[in-house]
Amino acid sequence: MSRQAIPLLTLTLALTGTVVANRFVAGDGTQTGAAGNALGVGRTAGVSGEHIPVDVIGTAVVETGAAIAANALIEADASGRAVTKAAGVTLARLAPGEVATAAGQFVEIILIQN
């Protein structure tokens, strides 16, 4: 479980809803919902009207919503946390050497544009 990241592009996003740090964020300024699209991963928490940095290209640190196996593709759960891709939009892949054994852990992911 890593707390390092190599963001290649970080954008400032105006929020239109409440966002928790280290979770997927949609381009409309809300936290990504289950199996939805994401602009990237928010580095900090915020509420509507605030601006936060969002990592959109490169690697990012994200909170997990369940156990995730090595090299797994990632989608968002209903809370914007990383879970193993089932039928949703592919948002990322676990970085080499990363695994999660339970929800609430932090892992480094390689962001995939969607």
Q: How far apart are CA 62 and CA 18, in angstroms?
A: 17
Q: Which two tokens stand for residue 3?
A: 């707390």
Residue range 75-104, pLDDT digits in tens: 999 999 999 999 999 999 999 999 999 999
The pLDDT score that the predictor gives to residue 3 is 80
Phi, psi (rounded to 5 degrees) for 104: 85, 5
* pLDDT per residue rounded down to tens, the chain (114 residues): 668 899 999 999 999 999 999 999 999 999 999 999 999 999 999 999 999 999 999 999 999 999 999 999 999 999 999 999 999 999 999 999 999 999 999 999 999 998
Looking at residue 108, its pLDDT comes to 97
Q: How many residues does the chain have?
A: 114
